[in-house]
Amino acid sequence: MSIRLVRSLEAHTDKVWSVSVHNRLPLLATASSDKSCKIYDLTNGELVATLDDTHKRSARSVAWKPTGQEPSLACGSFDSTISIWGKDYDEWSLLAVIEGHENEVKGVAWSKDGYFLASCSRDKSIWIWEADDDNEEFECISVLQEHSQDVKHVVWSQYEDLLASSSYDDTIRLWKEDDDDWSCVAQLTGHEGTVWCSDFEKSETSTRLVSGSDDCTVRVWQRTDANDSEETWELQAILPQCHKRAVYSVSWSPSGRIASVGSDGQLVVYEYQSDQWEITHVQKLSHGVYEANSVQWCKPYAADDDNGTTTAEWLITGGDDGNVNVWSIS
Amino acid sequence: MSEPINANPTVLDVNALPTRGEDHKQEKALDSQVQELLSLAIDHGVDSDVQSQAPSLLSDSEEQEDPIDPQEIFDLIAHISDPEHPLTLGQLAVVNLSDIKVIDSGNRDEMGEVIIKITPTITHCSLATLIGLGIRVRLDRCLPVRFRITILLKEGSHQSENQVNKQLNDKERVAAACENDQLLNVISKMLATCK
Amino acid sequence: MSALLSESDLNDFISPGLACIKPAGEVRASSNGDKSEYEIQINGQGEAFEVSIDDGTTQELTQASISLQDCLACSGCITSAEEVLLAKQTHKVLLEDLSKFANSKVFAFSISHQSRCSLASFWGLPTYKVDELLINLMSEKYGFKFAVGTELGRVMSIQRTNEELIQRKFSSSEKSVQLSSICPGFVLYVEKTKPEILPYMLNVKSPQQITGLTLKTLISQQMSISLEEVYHLSIMPCFDKKLEAARPEDAVDVDCVLTPKEIAELIKEEEINIKDYITTKDEPPNELYTRAAPYHWPSPVESWSSNVGSPSGGYAENYIIALQRHYRTKGVETEIQHISGKNSDVLEFRLVETSTGEKLGSSSIVNGFRNIQNLVRKLKPSGKVKIGSGLAARRRARKTANAGSDAKDEPVADPSVGDFVEVMACPGGCINGGGINNGGNTTDNKKLINELTEIYEQLPLIQELNTTSDNGIVSEFLNQLQRSFEITDDRMFKYKFSAIEKATDILSVGSKW
């Protein structure tokens, strides 16, 4: 088993806050403090488009819409707006700017079928927007204000309309549609610091969530019971301690691996082996002496050895050095 | 502007502030208690390095740099002005040499750490977050990128210690604050007195 | 906002801004008009003095305190306002005021329909028994001299609303939609964070404020005392009503606002046995209503009745009814259609000409922050953004179409293009106000709202609004009141709206990021 740097993209001149890989296409999107988003072709590492001249402050998060004939994405910015971009006759263009949050938008995420866009902000709220197929009309269908602080990150399940939010109030909340509004169905407490990020397990039969926090831990939570208005979640494991500073991003791979990155610059991969989670890879200084802010698994878009075999999974990381690194885990 | 929250702060004489070299030694000689405190707080290996030339902080030319020591950190932040008073954080004893800890190998490719404990002038001072932010901005601008900076309120010095600490060390909140023009204006004024 | 004002179980329907509150320091600084230089010294006793640098004169400083007005005048969080409100308008303060002003003021209270419904549900009593209980309790135990229901004030507010809208519709060249300013939570939200919406606000005061002025005026006349010598307690379903009562233009009309929650708390703390204050008679205490009202109060019994329309007050529906009446006088026959919005908190009333089907006017109910958001976003055109209209409803329509039924092109409510919107910050409107007593049970809110709505709908209806708008008892009374006591229209009906600037001083900027 090995971890190998496939490619390093000098994507931005300032912090890379967020990376997102399209669910079907070899497209990578990035969001940066330099106020722009960039799109790269993962097969060759070439820059496809630069999405700029729109946000007045940092682009904080980026997320590909999983559906639609042409690829499109949402970008949340510290300027309190969300921009929607899409490919239209081979041109990447701005389709909409969504206003509503009172201040910094920190996370954006699309639901499994692209119907809903969730956004979260320092204004302590999560907004759920209903999107049309053309990405031109967005209507606010719910404003969720149960978090007592800053909401740092939102993510949807790939299998149901279940949203998880991570917050500065040290908790994670889960949300579902209830009659004609959305409501909180569970609150996960245990982290002893800001929860920066969470990600759902990629499994149709089991519903678990991994979370990373300022308390330097990575935790796995499992849903043990659920009905329409309430769910029971339990802490299943605290992953083996490796990070020495805040964990900023976690990602759960289709094959069941978990990856985490953070302020200490380490990229850590965990696997479930013989009844427990074990650390299988640690890449120190994944972005030199800079902090690593974002990590996401994706399938490999190039052969990882001379024979052309592709058994590996890829990891994409983004760091304060402005770079996006592509790693192969085999 | 409104009246200051702390109208009567205790002010230290500029000459009594710790400095490198001769003054530093004199001061130690003058006050053995201070000396003891400093020796407790400071990494001795770093402290013994005082006679070397101060390196250019942003030097990128060599792998091994001279490690950064607490006095250098103190010199960077002691001259920041208090947002309310025409006095510096050093004069107001908001920052103290003995409350600065540095872990640094001097290797450009290794992460280093700076931990600063600040003492707001009064316990309910709502400007603690602003002062902390000013210090963070100053260090972010001046220190090599390998450093992770932690700024904490000195234990018992503030009513909402944990809350302020959390905010001061939240990378995202700090980054967003640094894009707020109003806030940047205030901070620029605070940093204008830095040498 | 409503909810911030209570500790635990209220919901934040509109949350506060993060940019902070006016600093305490400014309170004093502004009172000190001149530009001389001062410094502050502390004497041996720890008292603060201000010493003029010019002439050495000293002045003792009062401890800085934030007043409710300061909170209202600030763009910031409402956290401080919360403290101030909880400190200045609580049942404990009421008890203090009662003893402090026992000999110098005449106490009167008014109570809203929603509050009566909430207490009726809480105690398991018919609404009119709650009325009886409160009137008896307040007069016998606490020395209140007067009590009225708020329907008179509400009718005046509705009539004024209708007059302004109809006049606007047929004479003004500008046809933009008008938004109700009855909900103080929404008003404050607009003043603080959406000043661009201010031109859309229909400036007509709420029943609380109109009731307050009317009550104080009639009592002062009857008792031959000044307005200031009348103390008015208002019982409202919403904590934001405390903010409304404290608006600078209305400071004297309402002295204290309590919610049903606080009334129940008062009764519990004072160990009052409610049975001591109710009779066994199973009918509305009409005689008591009459006795409790000021002598010149018009139709005191009807002031405890309700009117058609939503449990928030029925402003939207009554406008459409008034518009229909207006067309009828012109010989145009019309009908009112109810058109659903994308969720249960959006409803449009559309007036169409019966013969042609042409739309002649419309008004809507918009409740809850999410729907307010879509409304204000539609009113604020911003470049490339196209704002949706009823996507969810269209999707539902698509779904039902797919399921076999033919529900294509079903009209969807669009409040932003009508004449008027009844906007309430709370989902469900005022019947779900933050001060509604849920008995500590927050889990089954929907059930409670349904129950309260049922109780509300059982209130007797007055006829005033349905018959005539020009020469009704209320209009006549209002004319007389304004004439006799020289009350201008502005004093009677208008708020002084203003966009609230964000604080820019170091404290506000520096501490909140």
Beta strands in A145-275 (DSSP E): 151-156, 163-167, 172-178, 181-188, 195-200, 208-213, 218-226, 231-238, 247-252, 258-262, 267-273
Question: What's the pLDDT band for C19 if we cut at 50, 70, 90?
Answer: very low
Of A230-239, A261-270, C327-336, C441-450, which gets the smallest average pLDDT? C441-450
Q: Which helix (H) or strand (E) holds C447?
A: helix C445-457
Question: What's the pLDDT band for C87 if we cut at 50, 70, 90?
Answer: low
The pLDDT of residue B33: 45
Q: Does residue C33 have a pLDDT over 50? A: no
- Averaged pLDDT for residues C366-391: 70
Beta strands in A126-194 (DSSP E): 126-131, 137-144, 151-156, 163-167, 172-178, 181-188
Q: Does residue A42 have a pLDDT over 70? A: yes
The pLDDT of residue C251: 60
Q: Which of B3, B129, B180 sits opposite C511 (nearest CB)?
A: B129
Instruction: With beta carbons less than 8 A apart as the criterion, state whether C2 and C40 touch.
Output: no
Query: At how many degrees (to 10) do helices C151-171 and C473-484 cross?
Result: 90
- B18, B21, B22, B25: CA torsion to nearest 10: 60
Q: Which of C377, C384, C392 sits opposite A141 (nearest CB)?
A: C392
Distance of alpha carbon A151 from alpha carbon C505, whole angstroms: 27
Q: Does residue A286 have a pLDDT over 90? A: yes
The pLDDT of residue A90: 81
User: Token digits for B23?
Assistant: 């003054």
User: Token digits for A192?
Assistant: 């002893």
Distance of alpha carbon A88 from alpha carbon A86, whole angstroms: 6
Of B54-63, C290-299, C374-383, which gets the smallest average pLDDT? B54-63
Among A109, A131, A152, residue whose Cα is nearest residue A20: A109
- Averaged pLDDT for residues A1-24: 94
A243: domain CATH number is 2.130.10.10
Of A136-140, A172-176, C43-47, which gets the smallest average pLDDT? C43-47
The pLDDT of residue C84: 60
**Set of chain A residues whose Cβ sits within 8 Å of the Cβ of B178:** none
- Where does CATH 3.30.300.130 sit in chain B? 66-191
3-class SS at B95?
coil
**Set of chain B residues whose Cβ sits within 8 Å of the Cβ of A150:** 173
Tokens 């160990």 belong to C271
- Averaged pLDDT for residues C322-334: 94
**Set of chain A residues whose Cβ sits within 8 Å of the Cβ of C387:** 137-139
The pLDDT of residue C173: 76
Beta bridge partners of C141: none
The pLDDT of residue B16: 75
CB contact under 8 A, C374 and A140: yes
**HEC string for A29-95:** EEEECCCCEEEEECCCCEEEEEECCCCCCCEEEEEECCCCCCCEEEEEECCCCEEEEEEECCEEEEE
Question: What part of A 292-321 touches B (C-beta under 8 Å)?
Answer: 320
Q: Which residue has the higher pLDDT, C88 or A188?
A: A188
For CA atoms B11, B14, B16, B18, the dihedral sign is positive
DSSP C323-372: HHHHHHHTT--EEEEEEE-SSTTEEEEEEEETTT--EEEEEEEEESHHHH
The pLDDT of residue C80: 46
- Averaged pLDDT for residues C502-510: 72
pLDDT in tens, C442-498: 667 888 999 999 999 999 998 766 555 556 888 889 999 999 999 999 999 999 998
A&C contacts, CB < 8 Å: 71
First to last CA, chain C: 21
All residues at 6 or more sequence positions from B73 whose CB lies less than 8 Å from its CB, including other chains: B100, B102, B114, B116, B139
Distance of alpha carbon C260 from alpha carbon B156, whole angstroms: 42
The domain C69-156+205-308+465-493 having CATH identifier 3.40.50.1780: the answer here is yes
Instruction: Give the residue numbers spanning the domain of A66.
Output: 3-329
Q: How far is CA C158 from its chain centroid? A: 13
3-class SS at C507?
helix
- Averaged pLDDT for residues A151-180: 96
Q: How far is CA C81 from its chain centroid? A: 17
pLDDT in tens, C430-442: 999 888 887 766 6
Q: Which of B3, B133, B186 sits opposite C25 (nearest CB)?
A: B3
The pLDDT of residue C227: 94
Q: Does residue A232 have a pLDDT over 70? A: yes
DSSP C276: G
- Averaged pLDDT for residues A36-41: 98
pLDDT in tens, B31-49: 444 444 444 443 433 333 3
Distance of alpha carbon C246 from alpha carbon C67, whole angstroms: 10
Helices (H), C79-199: 79-88, 91-100, 113-123, 127-140, 151-171, 184-193
Q: How many CB atoms lie within 10 A of CB C201?
A: 18
Distance of alpha carbon C246 from alpha carbon A38, whole angstroms: 51
- Averaged pLDDT for residues C417-438: 92
DSSP A325: E
The pLDDT of residue C415: 93
Q: C173-204+310-432 maps to which CATH number?
A: 3.40.950
Q: Does residue A38 have a pLDDT over 90? A: yes
- A184, A188, A193, A197: CA torsion to nearest 10: -70
pLDDT in tens, A107-133: 999 999 999 999 999 999 999 999 888
Q: Phi/psi at A232 (nearest 5 deg)?
A: -110, 125
Distances (CA, A) of B152 to B135, B163, C352, C448: 11, 10, 67, 47
Min distance B84 CA to chain C CA atoms (Å)? 9
- Averaged pLDDT for residues C333-354: 95
> How many CA atoms lie less than 13 Å away from C415 in the CB half-sphere?
30
Instruction: Name the domain count of chain A.
Output: 1
Instruction: With beta carbons less than 8 A apart as the criterion, state whether B94 and B82 touch.
Output: yes
**Set of chain B residues whose Cβ sits within 8 Å of the Cβ of A264:** 111, 148
Check if C29 contacts B (Cβ < 8 Å): yes
Q: Does residue C7 have a pLDDT over 70? A: no
Among A63, A133, A134, A53, residue whose Cα is nearest residue A105: A63
User: Token digits for B70?
Assistant: 């607490």
Probe site for chain C from B6, B10, B84, B126 (most C CB atoms < 10 A):
B126
For CA atoms A254, A258, A259, A260, the dihedral sign is positive
Q: Residues C481, C484, C489, CA angle at the centre, nearest 5°?
A: 55
CB contact under 8 A, A263 and B171: yes
DSSP A322: S
Q: Which residue has the higher pLDDT, C391 or A247?
A: A247
First to last CA, chain A: 5
Question: What's the pLDDT band for A304 if we cut at 50, 70, 90?
Answer: low
3-class SS at A197?
strand
The pLDDT of residue C62: 39
Min distance C505 CA to chain B CA atoms (Å)? 7
The pLDDT of residue A305: 59
Q: Residues A265, A266, A272, CA angle at the centre, nearest 5°?
A: 155
For the whole model, what pTM was predicted?
Answer: 0.81
The domain B66-191 having CATH identifier 3.30.300.130: the answer here is yes
Q: Does residue B171 have a pLDDT over 80? A: yes
Check if C344 contacts A (Cβ < 8 Å): yes
Among C241, C222, C224, C225, residue whose Cα is nearest residue C233: C241
The burial of A313, by beta-carbon neighbours within 10 Å (0-12 exposed, 13-18 middle, 19 or more buried), is given as buried
Instruction: With beta carbons less than 8 A apart as the criterion, state whether B133 and B183 touch.
Output: yes
Question: What's the pLDDT band for B23 if we cut at 50, 70, 90?
Answer: very low
- Averaged pLDDT for residues A243-256: 97
Question: Would you say the CATH fold of C173-204+310-432 matches that of C69-156+205-308+465-493?
Answer: no
**Set of chain C residues whose Cβ sits within 8 Å of the Cβ of A177:** none
The pLDDT of residue C75: 34
Check if A215 contacts B (Cβ < 8 Å): no
CB contact under 8 A, B1 and C506: yes
Question: What's the pLDDT band for A135 if we cut at 50, 70, 90?
Answer: confident
Question: What's the pLDDT band for C89 if we cut at 50, 70, 90?
Answer: confident
Can you give the residue ranges of every domain in chain C? 69-156+205-308+465-493, 173-204+310-432
Q: Which residue has the higher pLDDT, C254 or C506?
A: C254
Beta bridge partners of B153: B118
Q: How many CB atoms lie within 10 A of CB C445?
A: 16
The burial of B140, by beta-carbon neighbours within 10 Å (0-12 exposed, 13-18 middle, 19 or more buried), is given as middle
**Set of chain B residues whose Cβ sits within 8 Å of the Cβ of C510:** 83, 126-127, 129-130, 133, 183, 186
CB contact under 8 A, C383 and A97: yes
Question: What's the pLDDT band for C175 if we cut at 50, 70, 90?
Answer: confident
Average pLDDT, chain C: 80
CB contact under 8 A, B2 and C510: no
DSSP B81: B
Question: What's the pLDDT band for C38 if we cut at 50, 70, 90?
Answer: very low
